[in-house]
Amino acid sequence: MTNAEPLFDPSLPGLADDPYPHYARLRRTDPVYEHPAGYWMVSRHDDATAVLRAPRMSVNEKNLAGAPADDSAPPPELPPAMVEATNVMNLSLLDVDPPDHTRLRSLVTKAFTPRAVAALEPVVTELVNEGLDRIADGGRVNLMDELAFPVPFAVISHMLGTPPADSDRIRELTGRIHRSPELLDEAELIEGMAAIEELVKISREMIDWKRANPADDLLTALIAAEHEGDKLTADELVAQVLLLYAAGHETTVSLIGGGVVALLQNPDQLDLLRRRPELAENAVEEFLRYDPPIQQTRRITTGPYPLRGKEIPGGSLVMVAIAAANRDEDHFGEDAGKLRIDRADARQHVSFGAGAHHCFGSALARMEARIAIGGLVDRFPSLELAGDVVWSDRVELRSAKVVPITV
């Protein structure tokens, strides 16, 4: 650790409110940046795409330089149950490399084919209409509470076939585990691990309930695969449920909230969408590019990786700054920092990743956002912000906590 002022400092007050000037500075000044904290940041579009597709990159933290060869023994300062829960979470699709990733993904993605997602459209439409009714009844409401959160949460519950759950509690717990580690002190890290422990417990309870109440749903299919013996271990099953149920909805929540904010802060684009509703699908791509829910994603080099005349050593943590790459003027043009819902190349964003770890839920997220935002805009011609947007203090996952609207 050096005393140099970093080009990108996740602890800066107010950064979460508008991180984009900071990303622009990083992209312009040093697009392959060795951060004083000991990791690297990549911020240009072409470089981000290359890193995300590179077969020499890992998502498993065991490949970090200095990582213990065997992490099975719990650190003495943490309760064994907490360490066990954290190890279970690390078995999710987000944290394993091929061939384990390939095996897990081939099972889980069967529920996210274009045909399966299309079959969910009536369910999503009904849930959105219920949310729009709540907004109409309330007049002045927090969009996140009435529409952006309830719809994705209910959709993933429907897909999994899980019993009714304490959505507020799960929302609180997932919020704790999505904060950037750079912002956490020791007490907050332990609090985050405690949240993981509780989420693992909730997932196990859901699985136990589904064993006694099987049906034609994703969770029943995952359990059946585990029983076959060569698909999922018990802990892998818990990890995928945790990923899908407790974490998978968060990015769609952020996409809906951020997309509405972007429109309301750019009234010319809101007017364009009203005049040309056929732009709804492309508008979602532009929301993903302009203000992506996942701002940064991690990779670990498994060997020396040359990039722009530098060499990133093997075992290094690389932060791919998706939010910076999506506004790269070299790729999207001089107006890359502006919202344009008719942008021809909007879909070239890297918000869903690339390569083997491309988000398997991308089609579902797109569909939910299209129906939710399109329905909101269509139903309420007087829709407008009713106050300041309050953003969470997360760095890697950008999400609004409060989007006050009037209709």
Q: What is the pLDDT, as a whole number, of residue 70?
A: 55
Greatest C-alpha distance within the chain: 62
Closest to 245 measured CA to CA, from 193, 177, 167, 190:
167
pLDDT digit string (tens) for the chain, length 407 residues: 445 689 999 888 889 899 999 999 999 999 999 999 999 999 999 999 999 999 889 998 888 987 766 554 445 466 776 677 777 767 788 888 988 888 888 878 877 888 889 999 999 999 999 999 999 999 899 999 999 999 999 998 888 888 777 777 887 787 777 555 545 567 777 787 888 888 888 889 889 999 999 998 888 888 887 555 566 788 888 888 888 876 668 899 999 999 999 999 999 999 999 999 999 999 999 999 999 999 999 999 999 999 999 999 999 999 999 999 999 999 999 999 999 999 999 999 999 999 888 998 999 999 999 999 999 999 999 999 999 999 998 888 999 999 999 99
Question: What are the structure tokens assigned to 406, written together?
Answer: 């009037």
Tell me the C-alpha distance between 218 and 95, whole Å: 21
Tell me the C-alpha distance between 198 and 178, whole Å: 15
Residues 6+ apart with CB under 8 A from 345: 332
Question: What are the structure tokens assigned to 33, written together?
Answer: 């940046």
The residues spanned by each domain of the chain are: 15-406
Tell me the C-alpha distance between 202 and 244, whole Å: 13
Q: What is the pLDDT, as a whole number, of residue 179?
A: 57
User: CATH for 15-406?
Assistant: 1.10.630.10
The vertex-123 CA angle with 122 and 124, nearest 5°, equals 90
Tell whether the torsion through CA atoms of 283, 26, 296 and 145 is positive or negative. Answer: negative
Contact 111, 99 (CB under 8 A): no
Q: What is the pLDDT, as a whole number, of residue 354?
A: 92
Indicate the burial class of 258 (C-beta count within 10 angstroms; 0-12, 13-18, 19 or more).
buried
